[in-house]
Structure 1
Amino acid sequence: MALKLKEIQAPVASEMIEFEQKFRSLMKSKVFLIDKIMSYIVKRKGKQMRPMFVFLSSGLCGNISERTYRGASLIELLHTASLVHDDVVDDSNFRRGFFSINALWKNKIAVLVGDYLLSRGLLLSVDHEDYDLLKIVSEAVREMSEGELLQMAKARSLDITEDLYYEVIRQKTASLIASCCAVGAASADRDKETVMRMKEFGLHVGMAFQIKDDLFDYGSHEIGKPLGIDIKEKKMTLPLIYALQQSSGSEKRRIKRIVKSNSQNQKKIQEVIDYVKTSGGIEYAETVMHDYYNKSTQILNEFPDSDYKTSLGQLVKFTIERSK
């Protein structure tokens, strides 16, 4: 039976509760409008997987300290800022089933709120001289931006190779999970080599996580009906990239033409989904995902046994077995 996140976070349950309280106080502002928006952001938080990675990594590498709380807060502040800005860029009205900030308060306010969150994160680190943590997270934010821009640059031509796909998801998704694990190790005052090893562990987890996300588009027994959202948005993900690699020139052109010109036609989208499935795209993506999972497990096994190690292993397993 699959474990739930509540069970996985058991070794750091009290720290997660304390973190939420600290994070709420960090989000407060004397400006009424900002305070109102911050309260809205805090209420619609997701699974809190990023702070969990920070605290479990810190426990694995030594001890959880005040620096760990600041590191987890820094990641949440900078990541939330990037999400608020992303919704403006994508003209998206919803995030996790809630109205986005730009949908409720318009783009100008959303951009400024993103800037505010960014400045809170920077000041939190500078005020406590956590320059090592700030460097780790700032590098991740830079990579996330580069990954997004790289994907945008290639989206029109649908000309994304498998190697380019890995580079995009490494930057867009894996870099953030890598920074969580690296921040956890750094906040426990571990040596640079251990911090880099934990960063590599997080990268493999992040790659597996994103491939799992991409597989949701094609449906499964747990998810049911295929979504086809990535196809509608003309995003080239691993199952489709692999399927196209196996195709003849004419078949490849036909499928690309469908993706380019029939993005809202559900019948045509289903045709692409069926094509990917019969071409072995799903199986191939699952194999690659499990390969990254195995690489992360190998690194985790280098550390001494503990409750933190057990939970981290369970959390990694959760990322590739989750149903949404």
Structure 2
Amino acid sequence: MKADLKQIQSPIKSEMAEFELRFKDLMKSRVKLLDHIMNYIVRRKGKQMRPMFVFLSAGVCGDINDSTYRGAALIELLHTATLVHDDVVDDANYRRGFFSVNALWKNKIAVLVGDFLLSRGLLLSIDNDDFHLLKIVSNAVKEMAEGELLQIAKARKLDITEEVYYKIIRQKTASLMASCCSVGASSTASSPEIIEKMREFGEKVGMAFQIKDDLFDYGEEEIGKPVGIDIKEKKMTLPLIFALQKADWLEKRKIIHLIRNKSENKKAVNEVISFVKQSGGLEYAKEVMNRFYDEAMTILQDFPDSEYKESLSSLVTYSIQRKK
């Protein structure tokens, strides 16, 4: 049975409410313009799945405490900073259906806002001697930047193998999910073995999550990101990589030509989408996604039964079955 987010959140309902208040407080600034922008960012927050992963992972491993709140806030601050900077890099005017910071206040201010969020997160950890949490999250931010740059470099040549694709999504997406779960475990003073096991669990979830996101590009769901956006941006995702591996030399050359030279052409994008679907690319990607999902669930089974574990399991299922 598929649970909704409110049901999943029930064991940490009071913690999430408290976290929201603490996070709003952290975002305050004495600079009026910055305070105004921070209020805008807080108002348009998403589903808050990352803090949920932190709190539920902490509950699975031990007792939720002040360090858990700071760990969740650190991840949200640093992640929000990367999103603000990403929108500048991508020249994106929208984020989750709202105007992006750079669309409303221009690039110069957006970059400075990202810097403020980054430094706010660093200071939160340093002021509270949370160096163990800061190390986990800083490593994730480094991995995310490397993953993005690797993807950009490969997009120029369109020569991504399946192995390179896994490396990119492990760095770009899975590293952040892994840090959510390891921060949760680490905040409860768990053993290095338990923290590592939670990190592995989060990484598997992140891999499955990204493949799910890649599948949205092929219009399999009615709601989601715009169809073909990855193809337009020359991003090589798993369904396309698999389809190209199966194709003969002539067909492969034709598809790569379309992506390289006609990615702005709707007809060409639709041709690439049809090619991927007919080659079984979507089925293959779903198989791989489900394999990562199963591996994550197997790791979670090693932890003692609790309401936190049950909700964490449901949250993973929700993230893989989501419609957007």
In the superposition, the TM-score normalised over structure 1's length comes to: 0.98
Give the equivalent residue in structure 2 for 1:47: 47
Unaligned runs of 5+ in 2: none
Give the 3 Å change call, closer, same or farther, for CA 130–224 of structure 1 in structure 2.
closer
Give the equivalent residue in structure 2 for 1:320: 320
State which drifts further: 58-67 or 214-223: 214-223
Give the equivalent residue in structure 1 for 2:171: 171
User: Alpha-carbon deviations, 1:240-299, whole Å to 9, x = none?
Assistant: 000000011111000001111111221211111111011010000000000000000000
Give the equivalent residue in structure 2 for 1:37: 37
What is the Cα deviation at residue 6 of structure 1?
Answer: 1.2
Give the equivalent residue in structure 2 for 1:270: 270
- 1:48-127 aligned within 5 A: 48-127=48-127
What is the Cα deviation at residue 2 of structure 1?
Answer: 2.8
Which 4+ stretches in 1 moved above 2 angstroms? 221-226
* Matched residue type, 1:245: Q
Query: What percent identity do the matched residue pairs reach?
Result: 67
- 1:1-324 aligned within 5 A: 2-220=2-220, 222-223=222-223, 227-324=227-324
Q: Distance in 1 between matches of 2:128 and 2:223?
A: 45
State which drifts further: 213-222 or 153-162: 213-222
Contact map agreement 2:211 2:238 (CA 8 A) in 1: yes
What is the Cα deviation at residue 225 of structure 1?
Answer: 10
Q: Distance in 2 between matches of 1:156 and 1:224?
A: 26
* Matched residue type, 2:46: G
Q: Distance in 1 between matches of 2:237 and 2:319?
A: 18
Contact map agreement 2:74 2:125 (CA 8 A) in 1: yes
State which drifts further: 86-95 or 293-302: 86-95
Q: Distance in 1 between matches of 2:121 and 2:315?
A: 26
Unaligned runs of 5+ in 1: none
In the superposition, the TM-score normalised over structure 2's length comes to: 0.98
Size of the aligned set, in residue pairs, is 324
Give the 3 Å change call, closer, same or farther, for CA 133–240 of structure 1 in structure 2.
same
User: Alpha-carbon deviations, 1:90-117, whole Å to 9, x = none?
Assistant: 1111111111111111111111111111
Give the 3 Å change call, closer, same or farther, for CA 225–182 of structure 1 in structure 2.
closer
* Matched residue type, 2:255: I
